[in-house]
């Protein structure tokens, strides 16, 4: 997969990734790592991350964990997910792998925080 769906460059060193189009969590990390490699994304890059309508499980694979640790910071958008399921298990996994992960209720706040990193 040369370009993973849901992953796009916003500005220099700022990327946005939405899990909406991912069919299985296990394929997510492999696609992100390949995108990082193919596009030569710097370790100084920041990621705005949203699960969209996808409901992440607790079973993140090693590729996914490696991919999120590549970024300098992660702005994790929770949006209105808390009314539908408990997203905090997945957020804890992400934050445990990338300590500079912060949580936001919308894209604008996530973007504003990210550009200041």
List, edge to edge, every strand of the sheet that includes 101-104. 7-11, 14-18, 46-50, 73-77, 101-104
The CATH class for the domain spanning 7-115 reads alpha beta
Q: Cα separations (Å) of 54 from 14, 45, 51?
A: 22, 24, 5
The residue assigned the tokens 């804890």 is 92
List the chain domain ranges.
Answer: 7-115
Q: How many Cα atoms within 13 Å fall on the side-chain side of residue 29?
A: 16
Q: Is residue 117 helix, strand or coil?
A: coil
Element (DSSP H or E) covering residue 91? helix 88-97
State the pLDDT confidence band at 45, using cuts at 50, 70 and 90: very high
> What is the average per-residue pLDDT within 16-35?
70
State the pLDDT confidence band at 10, using cuts at 50, 70 and 90: very high
Nearest-angstrom CA–CA distance, 117 and 114: 5
Counting residues of the chain whose pLDDT is more than 70, the rounded percentage is 69
Residues 6+ apart with CB under 8 A from 3: 35, 38
Q: Of 98 and 38, which is predicted with more confidence?
A: 38
């Amino acid at each position: 997969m040369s370009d993973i769906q849901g992953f796009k460059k916003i500005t220099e060193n700022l990327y946005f990734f939405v899990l909406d189009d991912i069919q299985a969590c296990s394929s997510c990390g492999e696609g992100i790592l390949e995108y990082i490699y193919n596009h030569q994304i710097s370790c100084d890059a920041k990621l705005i991350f949203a699960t969209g309508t996808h409901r992440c499980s607790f079973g993140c694979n090693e590729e996914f964990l490696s991919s999120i640790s590549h970024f300098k910071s992660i702005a994790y958008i929770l949006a209105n997910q808390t009314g539908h399921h408990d997203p905090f298990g997945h957020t804890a996994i992400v934050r445990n792998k990338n300590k500079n992960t912060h949580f936001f209720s919308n894209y604008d706040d996530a973007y504003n925080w990210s550009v200041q990193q």
